[in-house]
Amino acid sequence: MATRRPERRNEESASAVIQAALDLCQEVGYRKLSIEGIAARAGVGKNTIYRWWPSKAAVLLDGLLSTMTMDASFPDTGDVRADLKTQMAAGIRTLGGPGLLPHYRALIGEAQHDPELHQALWDRFVSKLSAAAAARIELAQKQGQIRADVDPVLIIELLYGAGYYRRLLTPRTVDQEQIDAIVDLAFQGLAP
Amino acid sequence: MATRRPERRNEESASAVIQAALDLCQEVGYRKLSIEGIAARAGVGKNTIYRWWPSKAAVLLDGLLSTMTMDASFPDTGDVRADLKTQMAAGIRTLGGPGLLPHYRALIGEAQHDPELHQALWDRFVSKLSAAAAARIELAQKQGQIRADVDPVLIIELLYGAGYYRRLLTPRTVDQEQIDAIVDLAFQGLAP
DNA sequence: CTCTGGCGGCACGGAACGTGCCGTCTTGAC
DNA sequence: GTCAAGACGGCACGTTCCGTGCCGCCAGAG
């Protein structure tokens, strides 16, 4: 049994692999992305990839994490409604832009038939964003700007779900207008 | 050029292929589902599959459509809020059950890196559900049960997005409680 | 009767998979 | 200073599945 020793890992190789994966995914698309292709592009043996990552999607996830500075902190101007719009728009600008959307989208897709990736995507990425949003919402609840009798998780699902639904299921795209409309609608409610 | 002649198509073979795909996807999972495997299980030549479907996902989509009776009509008891809960719960019971969820989920996942499948999934399935919901919502708007100044599409995204987000992105599962809470929250709004 | 086209079956070349083995090099323990 | 451990790049292998082409068979249309 070859026990992994991360301290002896060649960081140059690792980042070359990640960069090659990101580049190739952009160029040829996720479908045609292959471990062999990544290894060749990175100038690395296939084994080096298999040694550290369970799948090509895992490489891509590392790439997504390294690209995002993971600064998921929310603004706090005192107006939650505006802050939510600001933050969601910023999210769309980065995650929804041409630089990251293909990778994020491919990961979400792949996670639907890879339970381990699904868990990893949640643990290492989505849950972080969610936690940051929850913190801002809880603050607003304490300040009386949002009903305090509702689980923040539910509010996050309501607000963010709309955008994901539109992106993943429909041919429509997410823009500033939808974000503003969704936040306003969620705050005001459907009742007349 | 061999022009397709649907009228000469062998319906027995077609349904055998679809059934084999559904069964195999349940047994071995979408990842290990292969055209060769489907053909063997169905007692059919590979060509017969390639002749009529562009990909294994397309076969699965046909399977999903044939399984769902596609009765997406909404109840109308006069109380939209209750009707929405009823309908969404019914959706979860079928699409979210063990019989269909694996296939639906695999299709949504695959659609994220297959534009044609994404379009087909929308055109032939999701848009139908969406249209049925939109009709019920418009009725409620005319009856004054829902604010009339909001695009029904946005309301659908708000209500359905939450469940999809939970299912596709988080480790949580969708249950009756979430549905009720989401509908109630959406109607009442986040404002205190 | 004959032609068309779908059918099952088979074979092929190619791509990528995942694994194993090699010789080299670096590193840390003794 | 020596030496074993382990990561590395490179290569080769067997396997699976891909997508295509060709075959002979059969049914329906002209």
Instruction: Tell me the pLDDT band of A69, cut-offs 50, 70 and 90.
Output: confident
Residue B1 is predicted with a pLDDT of 46
The DSSP-derived string for B102-130 is HHHHHHHHHHTT-HHHHHHHIIIIIHHHH
Residue A1 is predicted with a pLDDT of 45
Percent of residues, chain B, with pLDDT higher than 90: 92
Is A189 in Cβ contact with B189 (below 8 Å)?
yes
Residue A74 is predicted with a pLDDT of 87
Work out if A8's Cβ lies within 7 angstroms of strand D. Answer: yes
Closest protein residue to C10 (Cα–C1'): B45
Which residues have CB under 8 Å from A67's CB, separation 6+? A22, A99, A100
Q: Using CB atoms, which residue from A119, A146, A191 is nearest to B171?
A: A119
Q: How many CB atoms lie within 10 A of CB A74?
A: 19
Domain spanning B68-188, CATH architecture: Orthogonal Bundle (1.10)
Percent of residues, chain A, with pLDDT higher than 90: 92
Q: Of residues 25 to 54 in chain A, which lie within 7 A of strand D by their beta carbon?
A: 43-48, 51-52
Average pLDDT, stretch B158-180?
Answer: 98
CA distance A108 to chain B (A): 7
| Residues in chain B closer than 8 A to A31 (CB atoms) | 113-114
Average pLDDT, stretch B110-135?
Answer: 97
Residue B70 is predicted with a pLDDT of 65
* Nucleotides on chain D within 7 angstroms of protein Cβ: 6-12, 16-22, 28
Q: Which two tokens stand for residue A138?
A: 């809880």
Q: Domain map of chain B by residue range?
A: 6-53, 68-188
Residue A7: is its pLDDT beyond 90?
Answer: no
User: What is the overall mean pLDDT for chain B?
Assistant: 95
Give the number of beta-carbon pairs within 8 Å between A and B.
Answer: 172
Is the CB of residue B122 less than 8 Å from the CB of residue A171? yes
Is B190 in Cβ contact with A154 (below 8 Å)?
no
Residue A136: is its pLDDT beyond 80?
Answer: yes
Is B109 in Cβ contact with A108 (below 8 Å)?
yes
Is A185 in Cβ contact with B150 (below 8 Å)?
yes
Is A190 in Cβ contact with B146 (below 8 Å)?
yes
Average pLDDT, stretch A137-142?
Answer: 98
Q: Which residue has the higher pLDDT, A151 or B2?
A: A151
Instruction: Provide the H-helix boundaries in chain B.
Output: 11-28, 35-42, 46-52, 56-67, 80-95, 101-111, 115-121, 127-142, 152-169, 176-188
Average pLDDT, stretch B124-141?
Answer: 97
Average pLDDT, stretch A116-124?
Answer: 98
Closest CA to A191 of B120, B140, B124: B140
Average pLDDT, stretch B147-157?
Answer: 98
Residue B192: is its pLDDT beyond 60?
Answer: yes
Residue A39: is its pLDDT beyond 90?
Answer: yes
Average pLDDT, stretch B104-116?
Answer: 98
Average pLDDT, stretch A61-73?
Answer: 86
pLDDT in tens, B37-67: 999 999 999 999 999 999 999 999 999 999 9
Q: Using CB atoms, which residue from B112, B162, B170 is nearest to A168?
A: B112
Residue A6: is its pLDDT beyond 80?
Answer: no
Is B110 in Cβ contact with A170 (below 8 Å)?
no
**Distance D24 C1' – B74 CA (angstroms):** 53
Residue A177: is its pLDDT beyond 70?
Answer: yes
Q: What is the CATH number of domain B6-53?
A: 1.10.10.60
| Residues in chain B closer than 8 A to A109 (CB atoms) | 108-113
| Residues in chain A closer than 8 A to B186 (CB atoms) | 158, 186, 189-190
Residue B67 is predicted with a pLDDT of 92
Cβ-based burial of A39 (10 A; exposed 0-12, middle 13-18, buried ≥19): buried
Separation of alpha carbons B158 and B174, rounded Å: 15
pLDDT in tens, B74-99: 899 999 999 999 999 999 999 999 99
Residue whose structure tokens are 């090509």:
A56
Best probe of the B interface among A165, A172, A173, by most B CBs < 10 A, is A165
Question: Which chain A residue lies closest to B179 (C-alpha atoms)?
Answer: A154
Domain spanning A67-188, CATH architecture: Orthogonal Bundle (1.10)
Best probe of the A interface among B143, B157, B160, by most A CBs < 10 A, is B157
User: What is the overall mean pLDDT for chain A?
Assistant: 95
Percent of residues, chain A, with pLDDT higher than 70: 97
Is B165 in Cβ contact with A157 (below 8 Å)?
yes
